[in-house]
Amino acid sequence: MLGPGVVWYLGISAFLFGTGALGVLVRRNPLIVLLSLEIMLNGANLALIGFAREHGGGAGQIFALAVMAVAASEVCVGLGLVVALNRRRLAMDVDRLSELRG
Amino acid sequence: MIGGAWLCLLSPLAGTLLITAAGTRISRRAAGWLSTASVFLAFAGAVWSFFGLRSHGSEHGSVSTAWTWLQAGSFKPGLSVLVDPLSTMMMLIVAGVGGLIVLYSIGYMDGDDEERRYFAYMSLFVFSMLLLVEGGNLLLLLAGWGLVGLSSYLLIGFWHERPTAVAAAKKAFVMNAFGDATMALAFFVLIAHSGSLDFATSFATAGHLSQTTVDLVALGLLGGAAAKSAQIPLHTWLPDAMEGPTPVSALIHAATMVTAGVYLIARTHPIFEQARTIELIAAGLGALTLLVAGLVALVQTDIKRVIAYSTMSQIGYMFLGAGIGAYANGMYHLMTHAFFKALLFMAAGLAIHALAGEQDIRKMSGIGSYLPWTRWAFLAGSLALVGVPPFAGFFSKDSIIAAALHAHWYGVIFWVVALVGTFLTGLYTFRLYFIVFPGEPSAFVREHHHAHEGREGPRTMLLPVGILAVLSVVGGWLQFSPLWHPVTSWLEPAARTLGVAEPTSWQEGLSSALAVALGLAGIGVAYLVYGRGRVAVPRLPAVQRALEHKLYFDEAYDALFYKPAAAMATWWRREFEEPVVLAAGPDLGETAFDAGRGLRRVQTGLLRTYVLFLGAGMAVVAVVFLVVR
């Protein structure tokens, strides 16, 4: 099999996922949080594709396609929310958007 | 003939269902006529089966089974009807008198808000009663027995906005349920021993059982019969049941349902004959009831209650007859009693109707001058009740009294009691008559009386009263023992009169003469005291008070059963329900509330907390999977 082994792919995948998760946890701007989420999803996708190539099955690739579809729809909703926040001139800060609490 | 029996049974049921299904789409009047037509159709069916049975020879009773009603192992009673002399006689009485009374109801209930419900109940009652008398096995008999109790309950409490009516209905239902339960227990014993409730099998089995078992079965049956027929000690519901509409009192609480106990004894006589002690108890209860009810009737002031006590007393005669083995005489008295007691109730109903619902005899006095025909009808019914020849009661009641004289050594006691009973009958019946009908109309009557289109009542009310008045006169000519006795010979295949209850002619003659003399003496005393007012009522305050309290039966039952039950219920409420059950609700709520208050701290509103929880959860799941594998 050509190219690097599956471990390299998993390494990059874990790096991407970690970066994304860190971004979701520490950034306050909702736009950046969304971006970080996308990075996490892509990290997961890379792992799926890597395994698919390793095992030679098509299932992982199809799963990755499904994740992309979910990501696209999630971005639609997320960006819609960001636009709505902007229109109402609310602070672009997820920590201050915390009215829904117990 | 079987077709007639099925028609007789199902026609009133169809009437009930039609009235119920049609609801307000038909007028109230139409509901009344529908009910009347269904009961008269049942009467036609009864006549059909009567003539069918005659042409086949009455000894061949026949059972027709529609299908197996229910099945439990080898016990499978069918949905069957029995046509034999006893059941056809009851069918004729129930459907015939019932039809007349339902017709009378059309006039009596006119203008009531819930007439349709009333007529649906009436048809239901007739169906239940016919199921009781036609049922081809003891289980169907019990089903009919329960259903008449239900329709009686519904009709006593028909005016459900009156608290007294509702209380009376409940009382009747509870006491009857007691009787139903003892009957069911008796049937369980029979099923355990014979695996069947068919009449023939059960009666054959009764012969092989031990004496104690037969006694228990008979005692259970007697309990049911006494409760339904208002015999001491289960009688207190009947006077209260007069809260129902008057036609209901006439049909259910005089002519048909309350006599079901006599029918039961006649029907199951092979069992009672195996249990002589219990049969003797039945006769004794009858004798006691006829005496006590006759005494209590002397002081009652409600016209319907007087007649109700008289019903109890007359059923006492029937029990006495059936108890000593004179089944045919008991059944014959049942028939004539259905005529004249329904007549008395319906004539009283005419007077009550004309006075806009007043039932107190002290206020009704002198109503006879406004209602001359009603007065004659009531007089005919009263004479039949006292047993003055040639009215119906003479022929039926005297034969029971004569049979008592012939029966064993204890018969003489019953004979004396029955003769005292005839004196009381004459006294209380004509006390009622002389107070209510003759004489100058009282101020109350003059003020409240209102005629109905120039007649004494609507035509639908007058016609049945007229027919029954004629029947009260001629109905007794059917049998005059010992000269001719078609009823006894008709009933012989179903309930053969025992030899001990067939008196000789001198006994018949002596009993009749004494009974008539004592009855007339009662009438004479009533005339002197209440008709002319020459003799004052003797002042015996203690006796009078005891009788006005109906010999304290209600009070005793209150103290014996109601009070302890109520006290126990109060104790449980105070000691268990309030501290445990009721307190548990708030406690549970409090706990849930506290838990929620603790849990809500987790809901911070900060996105990163949620993500952290999510991540932590994932990590835990991953670790668990790795470790478990």
The answer to whether the complex's ipTM is over 0.85 is: no
Check if the beta carbon of residue B511 is closer than 8 Å to that of residue B503: yes
Q: Are residues B381 and B312 in the same domain?
A: yes
Last residue of one domain, picked from the residues B542, B577, B605 = B542
User: Domains of chain A: which residue ranges?
Assistant: 6-87
Name the residue of chain A whose CA is nearest to B604's CA. Answer: A101
B128 in any annotated domain: no
pLDDT of residue B382: 93
Domain presence at residue B164: no
CB atoms within 10 A of CB B28: 19
* Nearest by CB: B605 against A26, A33, A99: A99
Does residue B471 sit in the same domain as residue B619? no
What are A25-31's contacts with CB under 8 Å, separation 24+?
A25/B608, A25/B611, A25/B612, A26/B608, A28/A92, A28/A93, A28/A94, A28/A95, A29/A92, A29/A93, A29/A94, A30/A78, A30/A81, A30/A82, A30/A85, A30/A92, A30/A94, A30/A97, A31/A82, A31/A92
Cβ–Cβ pairs < 8 A, chains A and B? 33
Out of B607, B612, B615, the one facing A94 most closely (by C-beta) is B607
Final residue before a domain boundary, out of B490, B520, B542: B542
Given the DSSP bridges, would you call strands B78-83 and B62-68 parallel, antiparallel or unpaired?
antiparallel
Residue B263 lies inside a defined structural domain of this protein? no
Residue B452 gets which letter from DSSP? B
CA B615 remoteness from chain centre: 79
Residue B529 and residue B560 in one domain: no
Supply the range of the domain harboring residue B559.
554-628
pLDDT of residue B606: 83
Which residues of chain B does A100 touch, with a Cβ-Cβ cutoff of 8 Å? 603, 605
pLDDT along chain B (629 residues), means of 10: 86 93 88 93 92 77 80 81 89 93 90 88 94 89 92 92 92 92 91 83 82 90 92 88 90 89 90 87 91 90 91 92 87 91 91 85 84 90 90 87 81 89 92 87 80 76 91 85 76 74 79 90 89 76 82 86 93 90 89 91 84 90 91
Contact (CB, 8 A) for B294 and B453: no
Same domain as B525, residue B617: no
Candidates B601, B608, B611; nearest CB to A102: B601
B476 with B597, same domain: the answer is no
Residues B429 and B480 in one domain: yes
Q: Which two tokens stand for residue B427?
A: 């006294």
Q: Which fold has domain A6-87?
A: Helix Hairpins (1.10.287)
Interface contact B608-A25, CB threshold 8 A: yes
pLDDT, position B323: 87
Q: Specify whether the CB–CB gap between B160 and B166 falls below 8 A.
A: yes
Co-location of B398 and B432 in the same domain: yes
Kindly state whether residues B521 and B391 are assigned to the same domain.
yes
Contact B602 A94 (CB under 8 A): no
* DSSP state string for chain A: --SS-HHHHHHHHHHHHHHHHHHHHH---HHHHHHHHHHHHHHHHHHHHHHHHHHT-SHHHHHHHHHHHHHHHHHHHHHHHHHHHHHTT--S-TTT---S--
The last residue of a domain, from among B497, B519, B542:
B542
pLDDT at position B97 is: 93
Mean pLDDT confidence for A35-61:
91
CB distance B611–A24 less than 8 Å? yes
Q: Which residues of B touch A24 (CB under 8 A)?
A: 607-608, 611
pLDDT at A94: 85
Residue B469 in any domain: the answer is yes
Single-letter amino acid, residue B485: H
Same-domain pairing of B304 and B434: yes
Say if B407 falls within a structural domain.
Answer: yes
Decide if pLDDT at A1 tops 70.
no
Is the same domain home to B474 and B339?
yes
* Residue whose entry in the numeric block shows the structure tokens 């007012």: B533
Count up the domains in chain B and report the number: 2
Show residues of chain A in contact with B612, CB under 8 Å: 25
Whether B494 is covered by a domain: the verdict is yes
Q: Do residues B529 and B561 both lie within one domain?
A: no
**pLDDT score for A36:** 93
Please indicate, yes or no, whether residues B379 and B311 belong to a single structural domain of this protein: yes
Which chain B residue is nearest to residue A24, measuring alpha carbons? B608
